[in-house]
């Protein structure tokens, strides 16, 4: 019988090279995964989460959207800078209504002490810690304003990340632990939106153009061209050319290191096994909580947060599947999450 050995793909090599607790550029991830299916993307997200790898969205190009969504994104970005949400948003605006509700939620207590009490099983401390942290979700959402995702969507995903941070907390600095989970949830949503906007395809084309121009200038100049010379020929910003160059360099380094196994891989696999268990327990806990909801609400949350293994669906996608408008999905989701908080 022949033994078939399947060579790992570029993205598999890249993910395997990451260290526990490191960071990874979302734009590079989308370039590597261009052409892959949604399940592959979800598998990569889970791998990054299990390895506690931070998904960095800073280098993702901001979308140039038009129409109502583009106007809204620009307005939210401006409001995030000024902080004048309650003054400038209409009374019936969903974001304003959320902030007004948030302002009436009790938020008091010492986070460190509450985290210690929660770790010992104190449910009252868990509730207080959740309330104290909701404003932090909003702050982190504002830091990502204008990145192609509406603030209400960022807040909802960030709230799910907050929930996961509370369920997964054991000990240590809770604020750092909490902020990572919130930011990671938002970064995943921003990355998915960037993929939908074709960022991976554009960056893949940029890589091909870079290689072509690099070879042309090498032939013309008789030396390696500078990034500024390549940027001028491509009519691209130097920063974007530098990003492409870094991705190509990483690919070259991975290719050289391919035959050299990492001596700490076994330790990282053990750590991943622990994370796998925590993740399974989280999903199981969520499933138990969903059983307290009516069938439609449970189905809605399952779609929105990808609880059955698929990618999380946007409010628009969920609405189409359930015969609801985007606004109805957002309202129903908020009500369902509020009920789950009361059930804990």
pLDDT digits (tens, 9 = 90+) for 252-300: 554 454 445 555 545 555 454 444 444 455 556 566 677 778 888 888 8
* Vertex 209 angle, CA 224 and 231, to 5°: 60
Instruction: Determine the pLDDT at residue 4.
Output: 45
- The answer to the question of residue 338 being in a domain is yes
More confident residue, 6 or 181: 181
Instruction: Determine the pLDDT at residue 69.
Output: 83
Whether residues 283 and 339 share a domain: the answer is yes
Q: Report how far residue 53's alpha carbon sits from residue 49's, in angstroms, rounded to the nearest whole number.
A: 6
More confident residue, 40 or 142: 142
Instruction: Determine the pLDDT at residue 7.
Output: 58
| Strand partners for 23 | 54
Average pLDDT over the chain, rounded to an integer: 78
Tell me which residue of 247, 276, 314 sits closest to 59, measured CA to CA.
Answer: 247
- The answer to the question of residue 113 being in a domain is no
Whether residues 248 and 282 share a domain: the answer is no
Instruction: Determine the pLDDT at residue 230.
Output: 81
- The answer to the question of residue 284 being in a domain is yes
- The answer to the question of residue 306 being in a domain is yes
- The answer to the question of residue 324 being in a domain is yes
Whether residues 328 and 292 share a domain: the answer is yes
- The answer to the question of residue 35 being in a domain is no
Instruction: Determine the pLDDT at residue 144.
Output: 93
Instruction: Determine the pLDDT at residue 276.
Output: 47
CATH number of the domain residue 317 falls in: 1.10.10.10
pLDDT above 80: residue 192: yes
Q: Report how far residue 184's alpha carbon sits from residue 154's, in angstroms, rounded to the nearest whole number.
A: 11
Question: Looking at 234, 257, 280, which one is the last position of a domain?
Answer: 257
pLDDT above 60: residue 181: yes
- The answer to the question of residue 219 being in a domain is yes
Q: For the segment 71-84, what is each residue's pLDDT rounded down to a tens digit?
A: 888 899 999 999 88
Q: Report how far residue 133's alpha carbon sits from residue 183's, in angstroms, rounded to the nearest whole number.
A: 13
Confidence of residue 2 (pLDDT cuts 50, 70, 90): very low
Q: Report how far residue 126's alpha carbon sits from residue 118's, in angstroms, rounded to the nearest whole number.
A: 5
Whether residues 285 and 326 share a domain: the answer is yes
Instruction: Determine the pLDDT at residue 154.
Output: 92
Whether residues 272 and 318 share a domain: the answer is yes
The answer to whether the predicted template modeling score (pTM) of the entire model surpasses 0.75 is no
- As a whole-number percent, the residues of the chain with pLDDT over 70 amount to 78
Whether residues 251 and 290 share a domain: the answer is no
CATH number of the domain residue 220 falls in: 1.20.140.160
Tell me which residue of 177, 169, 188 sits closest to 136, measured CA to CA.
Answer: 177
Total number of domains in the chain: 2
* Residue range of the domain that includes 234: 199-257
- The answer to the question of residue 125 being in a domain is no
If you average pLDDT over residues 239-251, what whole number do you get?
Answer: 67
């Amino acid at each position: 019988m022949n033994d078939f050995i399947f060579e790992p793909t570029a993205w598999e090599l890249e993910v395997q090279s990451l260290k526990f607790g490191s960071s990874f550029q979302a734009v590079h991830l989308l370039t590597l995964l261009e052409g892959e299916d949604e399940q592959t993307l979800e598998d990569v997200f889970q791998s990054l989460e299990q390895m506690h790898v931070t998904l960095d969205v800073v280098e993702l190009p901001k979308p140039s959207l038009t129409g109502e969504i583009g106007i809204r994104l620009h307005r939210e970005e401006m409001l995030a800078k000024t902080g004048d949400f309650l003054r400038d948003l209409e009374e019936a605006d969903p974001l304003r209504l959320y902030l007004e509700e948030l302002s009436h939620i009790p938020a008091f207590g010492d986070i460190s002490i509450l985290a210690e009490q929660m770790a010992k099983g104190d449910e009252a401390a868990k509730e207080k810690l959740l309330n104290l942290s909701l404003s932090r979700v909003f702050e982190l959402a504002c830091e990502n304003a204008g990145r192609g995702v509406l603030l209400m969507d960022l807040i909802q995903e960030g709230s799910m990340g907050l929930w996961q941070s509370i369920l997964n907390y054991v000990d240590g600095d809770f604020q750092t632990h909490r902020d990572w989970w919130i930011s990671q949830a938002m970064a995943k949503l921003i990355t998915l939106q960037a993929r939908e906007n074709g960022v991976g395809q554009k960056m893949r084309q940029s890589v091909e153009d870079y290689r072509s121009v690099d070879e042309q200038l090498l032939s013309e100049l008789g030396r390696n061209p500078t990034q500024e010379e390549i940027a001028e020929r491509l009519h691209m910003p130097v920063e974007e050319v530098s990003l492409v160059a870094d991705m190509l360099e990483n690919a070259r380094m991975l290719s050289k290191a391919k035959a050299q196994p990492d001596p700490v891989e076994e330790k990282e696999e053990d750590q991943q096994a622990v994370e796998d268990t925590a993740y399974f327990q989280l999903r199981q806990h969520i499933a138990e909580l969903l059983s307290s909801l009516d069938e439609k609400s449970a189905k809605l949350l399952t779609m929105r947060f990808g609880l059955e293994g698929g990618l999380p669906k946007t409010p628009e996608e969920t609405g189409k599947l359930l015969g609801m408008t985007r606004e109805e999905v957002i309202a129903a989701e908020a009500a369902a999450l509020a009920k789950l908080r009361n059930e804990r």
